[in-house]
Structure 1
Amino acid sequence: MQNIVSRIKRDVVNEVVRKTQLEFASQISMHLDNKIYLKREDLTPVHSFKLRGAYHKIRTLNIRQLSKGVITCSAGNHAQGVAFSAKKLGIYAVIVMPKITPKIKVDSVKSLGAEVILFGNSYDVAYDFSQNIAKKKGYTFIHAFDDLDVIAGQGTIAYELLEQLDDIDYIFVPVGGGGLITGIASVIKTQRPKIKIIGVEPVGSAAFTRSITSNTHAVLDEVDVFAEGVAVKKVGFENLRIAKKLVNGTVLVSNDEMCAAIKDIYNQNRYIVEPSGALALAGIKRYIFDKQLHNNNIISIVSGANMNFDRLRYITERANLNEYN
């Protein structure tokens, strides 16, 4: 935990990300009988929190590493973070993306000048392929989540939250590989240990929850890719090692619950987030119902808003179905 906190350089992250808004969600709060706040990480230049960790990591590289270039594997949001960082720093970047990656994310990465390679139908397959390229070409691999400097970059969100809201009871964080929740939890448990950190995963890609409950580093046989931003077969080694000591619990939600949360956010403030961006709010709704919580100050990390427009009809249908079940 202290190793993460000591690595955090907020001034570096501030070169590319201004403090994102923390919005009070009045309608959602009234419906849930708790004060709900939305941390708008969709407002970064790449519409995702991932820019923080990517840039924070790349800025630690030496001149030789920068001159050779960087490579990463990502379902989209981290890819955009690396591509944006590479363009800003004037270095070469290769991005390996699973074939399931939404076109809006692929196009965004290409527009930032990075070389894009589409390979495999899951993060893990694409990851192995990217490792081979890195070894052959001598590129520095920028991991999407299992890297202490990437984790530290994501941890800058927690400092902003502490500055933006004095009284916090819960922070709900979407979990894929675990970099975001590890960074946030490391700072929060150092500064304000009484705040509860809850991880939220889709039922179909719950590697973190399974690892916690089984006390192993669980590897899923398959993952549901509906929320592709968190669709990984296993969490990062460093993330699991650190986060399992800091996180207060996890909650699992269905795809329909994520769809309903997307609709809730739209009805609240008229903007559309991706499934993983609504994951934390879906978890809040489930957790409040299960635990019968009232009158708490609860923060939802809105992690991203990179979604193909043509998915909206399906999401609307599933959101409406969830309301009536």
Structure 2
Amino acid sequence: MFLTIIFDYLAIPDNLRIKFDQRCKFCIEEVKYSKSIASFPMDPSYDDILAANSLRGHEIRKTPLIHSPTFSEMTGSDIYLKAEFQQKTGSFKIRGAYFKIKSLSNEEKKHGVVAASAGNHAQGVAFASALEKIPCTIVMPKNASPAKVAATRGYGAKVILEGVNYDESSSKAKEIAKETGATMIHAFDDPQVIAAQGVIGLEILEDLKDVDEIYLPIGGGGLAAGALIAIKEKNPQIKVIGVQSKSFPAMYDSVKQGSITASGGERTIADGISVKVPGQLTFSIIKELIDEIVLVDDVEITKAMFLLMERMKFVVEPAGAASLAYLISKKPSIGKKVVAVLAGGNVDMYLLGQIVDKGLAAMGRLLKLSIMLPDRPGAFKEIVDEITLANANIVEVVHDRLSSAINAGSAGVTLSLETQGREQAQSLIDALKEKNIQFTLLT
């Protein structure tokens, strides 16, 4: 009954009422009589994506599509990397935030904006708000990257730390919007945000018309939803595959179940896609258009990040590297032209150091050993001689006589060694065993 009253009040034609009923019933309760028809969260169209593309101005860059011979050889596919990590603010998120804020009325801009984000959307909203000279409040999880918090404040936003994940921060942001009258800039479940993210799809097809498959990360689904609309409109034969973290497989589970499902909560380095509940609007688009959703774990993401740094000199954050991580680990598209969207590059420097160490260890190029030696002159020299013969490099030595686990007359030594790869590392391990040297492999 309430739905009918709203439609009558807004004089919506009968042929549109079915679409409203299917797509917007979830939000009708929040719509006031004063809202215009544009306020209804209907699916953005291909024309909306074209409009977002035309209004982006000089602030939003067209990011390059870069062919990678290294990853092509590694995966058996012809790999192209969409470098969204080179976008302004270091992420694709600025596209949606900028278009949404530019579209606000003067009255809405007076009341300012509020948003929830783990970091990238936060920076996009803060930057776009600074351009428009409007008040901006960002709610971020308490465990958000200090670098992302500092960058958001650096753009002039007021930052509030609340909750331990995006969903808890979003609840606080909604409270602030209700209390202050500020416009909530949703990170993904908004038609204009989705439309602007869809421009990425236009850019890919403009640069690589004969692409076979496109892999992109999914958190809440804004990027995937927008790209799907753009790509499927131009060429429905192109496969679009979403990649989620195994720790937060909310969209994967929702599409599989056929309805929105809360899922995830385990710790992951990919905070940019750690969303427990996908958007209503993004889910409705993705479940209809997506070809497949796949999952990756932190180990696979770490390897991709490391290889991007070493082989391409690209610093890409965990969520941004998820699509390439799947291609490297699973090699699903042999012989095809494939685009992997590298969605962001805002990675904490402390995490980056761990990624380097873990990446080296995973490839057998960083060997860490704990060795128990008799506490006598020359005992350590025997170890060093074996390391020298193996042509390995000592990176770090930690010598311990005092720990309770160390028996009197013994000494514990922890060694970090740089090797050329697994074969050399295994040769050293075998040599130590032949010498009956007592050790524990830590990596």
Fold conserved between structures, TM > 0.5: yes
Residue 222 of structure 1: how far off its partner (Å)? 2.1
In 1, distance between residues paired with 2:283 and 2:305?
28
1:171 aligns with 2:214: yes
* Structure 1 pair 84–135 and aligned structure 2 pair: CA distance change class (3 A): same
From 182, 186, 190, the counterpart of 1:147: 190
Residue 318 of structure 1: how far off its partner (Å)? 3.2
In 1, distance between residues paired with 2:174 and 2:196?
22
Residue 2 of structure 1: how far off its partner (Å)? 7.1
In 2, distance between residues paired with 1:15 and 1:206?
36
**Aligned equivalent of 2:344:** 304
In 2, distance between residues paired with 1:269 and 1:319?
15
1:235 aligns with 2:275: no
SS at match of 2:118: coil
**Aligned equivalent of 1:313:** 353
SS at match of 1:244: helix
**Aligned equivalent of 1:95:** 138
In 2, distance between residues paired with 1:272 and 1:3?
32
SS at match of 1:274: coil
| Aligned pairs, number | 322
In 2, distance between residues paired with 1:216 and 1:115?
36
Residue 321 of structure 1: how far off its partner (Å)? 4.6
From 117, 133, 137, the counterpart of 1:74: 117
Deviates more, 1:293-302 or 1:310-319: 310-319
In 2, distance between residues paired with 1:114 and 1:155?
26
Q: Which amino acid aligns with 1:7?
A: D
In 2, distance between residues paired with 1:2 and 1:149?
9
1:45 aligns with 2:78: no
Structure 1 unaligned spans of 5+: none
**Aligned equivalent of 2:302:** 259
- Kept in 2, the 8 Å contact 1:257–1:322? The answer is no
SS at match of 2:340: strand
1:116 aligns with 2:159: yes
1:84 aligns with 2:127: yes
- Kept in 2, the 8 Å contact 1:223–1:233? The answer is no
Q: Which amino acid aligns with 2:81?
A: L
Residue 268 of structure 1: how far off its partner (Å)? 2.4
From 44, 49, 65, the counterpart of 1:3: 44
Residue 234 of structure 1: how far off its partner (Å)? 0.9
- Kept in 1, the 8 Å contact 2:247–2:264? The answer is no
In 2, distance between residues paired with 1:2 and 1:57?
15
Q: Which amino acid aligns with 1:311?
A: L
* Structure 1 pair 110–2 and aligned structure 2 pair: CA distance change class (3 A): closer
SS at match of 1:271: coil
Residue 312 of structure 1: how far off its partner (Å)? 2.0
Deviations 1:45-91 (A, max 9, x none): 10000000001111111010001100000000000000000011111
**Aligned equivalent of 2:28:** none
In 1, distance between residues paired with 2:202 and 2:166?
30
In 2, distance between residues paired with 1:161 and 1:207?
26
**Aligned equivalent of 2:415:** none
Residue 223 of structure 1: how far off its partner (Å)? 4.0
In 1, distance between residues paired with 2:354 and 2:205?
37
From 119, 125, 128, the counterpart of 2:171: 128
Q: Which amino acid aligns with 2:108?
A: Q
- Kept in 1, the 8 Å contact 2:249–2:264? The answer is no
**Aligned equivalent of 1:25:** 68
TM-score (norm. length: structure 2): 0.70
- Kept in 2, the 8 Å contact 1:2–1:186? The answer is no
1:191 aligns with 2:234: yes
Deviations 1:92-119 (A, max 9, x none): 1000100111111111111111111111
Aligned-residue sequence identity (percent) comes to: 36
Q: Please provide the CA RMSD for this pair.
A: 1.6
